[in-house]
Amino acid sequence: MGQLGNILPLLLMFVVLYFFMIRPQQKRAKNEREFEGGLKVGDKIITKSGIHGKIVELSDSTLVIETMAGKLKMERSSISMELTATLSKKE
């Protein structure tokens, strides 16, 4: 009984840590991977640094976006938001 009383708080702390920190981070990472995989040529996007552009080329881990200043090659992970669906709903 004494051993269980010592281990129970440690187990409880691990369970709380898992549900409040580890699990939400895993969900966020999964959603980000799905978002990056769903990008396609022609999507209007915003990068994490705030650059607006349109995807003109895609490869495994990089993409080329066209901006008003020219074309930029970036990593897929640098894309923050996809605007094509949002813009088409407003019109």
pLDDT tens-place string over residues 43-69:
999 998 899 999 999 988 899 999 999
Q: How far apart are CA 91 and CA 84, in angstroms?
A: 11
Question: Within its chain, how far is the Cα of 53 from the centroid?
Answer: 18
Residue 16: pLDDT above 80? yes
Q: Report the phi/psi class of residue 72: left, alpha or beta, with left for phi > 0 and alpha for psi in -120 to 50.
A: beta
H-only helix segments in the chain: 2-17, 23-37, 84-90
pLDDT band with cut points at 50, 70 and 90 for residue 6? confident
Is residue 77 over pLDDT 90?
no
What is residue 70's predicted lDDT score, i.e. its pLDDT?
A: 95
pLDDT digits (tens, 9 = 90+) for 18-47: 989 999 999 988 988 888 888 899 999 999
